[in-house]
Homo-oligomer: A and B are copies of this chain.
Amino acid sequence: MRNADYLEKAEGLRPVLIEEKIRIKGRDEVLQNGDEVIYDLGNHYVGHLSISFSSIGRHFDAPFYFQIQFAEIKEEFDQDVDSYDGWIARSWIQEERVHIDVLPCTYEFARRYAFRYLKIKVLSVSENYSVKIDSIDLKAVSSANDSRLTHPEFCKEDELLDKVSLRTLHNCMQEVFEDGPKRDRRLWLGDLRLQALANYETYKNNDLVKRCLYLFAGTTLEDGKLSSNIFIEPEVECDYQSMFDYALFFINVLYGYYENTGDLETLKDLEPVCVRQHEILKNCFDENDVIDLDKCDRVFIDWNFSLDKTASGQAVYIYALKDLLKIEKILKKDTKDLEEEIVRKQAAAIKMFDESKGLFVSGKERQISYASQIWMILAGVIDMNKAKEILDRLEEHKDAIKLISPYAYHHYIQALIDAGETEKAYGKMHDYWDGMIKKGCDTFWEIYDPKDPDASPYGGLAVHSFCHAWSCTPTYFLRKYFVKKQS
């Protein structure tokens, strides 16, 4: 289903990308068959590359054939790309093979890459010449406007955490909020929600949030249900996959947008999309107001395949409905049914609390997980004191299913803050994200499990995104909650 009006509004908000030009002087190496060189650009960039090559020796008399690999983190170069056999397409790995027919030549790569490092390997030159790299030119692109940034006087550790978060957000802000500029380069609702939060505190490109809302609203699945993600090229089209939690988050993103901009017209214009999600997704519950996962599209929550999503799914629904209620009140709609439903769904949620364990349990197996507790707190199902107790107790419960994605960690930090555990939130935030910083990252990653840094839900690190929007939120937390901690 396409809504031309919404899509036109989205198109009208397409940002002009801001370009930054970076030139790296070539080194004096003389490259022959089999030689490899690595260039380090000193930071993570997203953009278009050109390399100026020249030949030395006798006249250039046969094509120059080289391989180039781009890496966000240096460890990508250690991956055996040819043996990669994961379910994520190998085509995401940033590598090219190029023939150049005449040297000297400034070769412009047609594609956009996300990288800090590049490795060039000479596959073939003739016996009569060698190759020299004269310069590497990068046109880095982003729709994030650095001049909009404030620079709070952070303590040193916070400054670094803020900087890496900002770089992550900056490089994911392109013509849409992309999930990752290496992969999938695509607009996902779950990522958008966190990017929007970070954006309000930093680059304040609120029109980009608005554009993304209109893109989701403009192309939906058959019954008006929102897809989890949107393709922009060759034309705007939603993916076939819907996710229960992501569809609901449209409500939260719209409400957050209104809260931060006061743009009542957009709120009014897009409210029907929220109402439609509610109409569809309320059918995912049984007669006891408990979510029935068999009636739902996938509930994402985290990249943990063993996680039971009953409790967290229930909570996300309440979390979204509470923002829908706020929207309906602003628009002076009748909210009686909605309020009653929230009460019923909360009551059903409370029943998932196991008094003997002092924790929420999820599903028939009564699984205990971080995610279940976190989402029940975020949904405001329980009061602050109880939330605090739960979060303390969780740490003693060694068998609790842990979090693995930065996306899930974001919600943990938010839950700690909501529970009034601000100090602890600050510490946990540093513990987790500093783990990536200690590994030398310029941008935060799609996946980071401190206990198992090489874990991959995709079957190989080579296809991982190491600049991933959903891990950019330390800048949001720092600026919104911890800025007074400055030294």
Chain A contacts to B: CB under 8 angstroms: 58-65, 87-92, 96-97, 99, 101-104, 111-112, 123-127, 183-184, 186, 231, 233-234, 237, 239-240
22 residue pairs bridging A and B, Cβ less than 8 Å apart:
A58-B239, A59-B231, A59-B237, A61-B184, A61-B186, A62-B184, A63-B89, A63-B92, A64-B91, A65-B89, A65-B90, A87-B127, A88-B126, A89-B126, A90-B123, A91-B123, A91-B125, A99-B111, A101-B111, A102-B233, A102-B234, A103-B234
Measured between beta carbons, the chain B residues less than 8 angstroms from A65 are: 89-91
Contacts of A91 in B (CB 8 A): 62-65, 99, 123-126
Q: Say what secondary structure dominates the interface of chain A.
A: loop
Known contacts: A89-B62, A91-B126. The answer to whether A99 contacts B96 by CB under 8 A is yes
From the candidates B61, B62, B97, name the one contacting A97 in the complex (CB within 8 A). B97
Q: Report how far A233 CA is from B63 CA in the complex, Å.
A: 12
A61 to B170 alpha-carbon distance, docked (Å)? 23
Residues of B within 8 A of A123 (CB): 90-91
> Max chain B CB contacts within 10 Å: which of A60, A65, A186, A239?
A65
Nearest residue (CB) in B for A227 is: B59
- Chain B's closest residue to A101 (CB) is B111
Residues on B with C-beta less than 8 A from A186 are 61
Min distance, Cβ A113 to any Cβ of chain B, angstroms: 10
Cross-interface CB contact of A240 among B59, B96, B111, B237, cutoff 8 Å: B59
Using CB atoms, name the residue of chain B closest to A107: B110
Q: Which residue in chain B gives the minimum CB-CB distance to A98?
A: B96
**Residues of chain B with a CB closer than 8 A to A184's CB:** 61-62
- 10 additional A-B residue pairs with CB within 8 Å, beyond A61-B239, A62-B183: A60-B234, A61-B184, A61-B186, A89-B125, A89-B126, A91-B99, A97-B97, A99-B111, A101-B112, A104-B234
Please measure, in the bound complex, the distance between the C-alpha atom of A62 and the C-alpha atom of B86, giving whole angstroms. Answer: 14
Q: In the complex, A240 Cα to B112 Cα: how many Å?
A: 40
Which residue of B62, B87, B104, B231 is within 8 Å of A92 (Cβ)? B62
The residues of B that contact A59 with a CB separation of less than 8 Å are 231, 237, 239-240
Residue numbers in B under 8 Å from A99 (CB-CB):
91, 96, 111
Give the distance in Å from the alpha carbon of A97 to the alpha carbon of B82 in the complex. Answer: 14
Nearest CB in chain B: distance from A310 CB, A: 28
What residues of B have a CB within 8 angstroms of the CB of A125 in the complex?
Answer: 89, 91
How far is A61 from B228 in the complex, measured between Cα atoms in Å?
13
Bound state CA distance, A88 and B33, in angstroms?
12
Residues of B within 8 A of A104 (CB): 234
Rounded to whole Å, the gap between the CB of A10 and the closest CB of chain B is 17
A104-B101 Cα distance, complex, nearest whole Å: 28
Please report the C-alpha to C-alpha distance between residue A59 and residue B92 in the assembled complex, in whole angstroms.
16
Query: Considering the chains assembled together, what is the distance between the CA atoms of A112 and B232 in angstroms?
Result: 33
* Most B-side CB within 10 Å, residue of A125, A126, A183, A239: A126
Q: How far is the CA of A59 from the CA of B233 in the complex (A)?
A: 10
Pairwise interchain contact A231-B96, C-beta atoms closer than 8 A: no
Least distance between A33 CB and chain B CB atoms (Å): 8
Given A96-B97, A97-B96, A111-B99, A231-B61 contact (CB < 8 Å)? yes
Residues of B within 8 A of A240 (CB): 58-59
Is A89 within 8 A of B234, CB to CB?
no
Given the complex of chains A and B, what is the CA–CA distance between A402 and B239 in angstroms? 68
A210 shortest CB reach to chain B, Å:
24
Nearest-Cβ distance from residue A303 to partner chain B, whole angstroms: 18
Taking CB atoms, residues of chain B closer than 8 Å to A231 are: 59-61
Q: How far is the CA of A103 from the CA of B91 in the complex (A)?
A: 14
Bound together, the chains give a CA A63 to CA B237 distance in angstroms of: 17
Residues in B with CB closer than 8 Å to A126 are 88-89, 91
Most buried by B among A61, A64, A89, A186: A89
Residue of B nearest to A55 (CB): B234
List 7 tightest A-B contacts by C-beta distance, closest first: A65-B91, A91-B124, A62-B89, A63-B91, A90-B124, A89-B126, A102-B233
Complex Cα distance, B124 from A58, in Å, reads: 39
In the docked arrangement, what's the CA distance between A58 and B231, Å?
12
The smallest C-beta distance from A285 to any residue of chain B, in angstroms, reads: 29
Using Cβ atoms and an 8 Å threshold, which residues of chain B touch A103?
234
Q: How far is the CA of A474 from the CA of B52 in the complex (A)?
A: 45
User: How far apart are A155's CB and chain B's nearest CB, in angstroms?
Assistant: 42
Chain B positions within 8 Å of A124 at CB level: 89-91
A99 to B96, CA, bound (A): 8
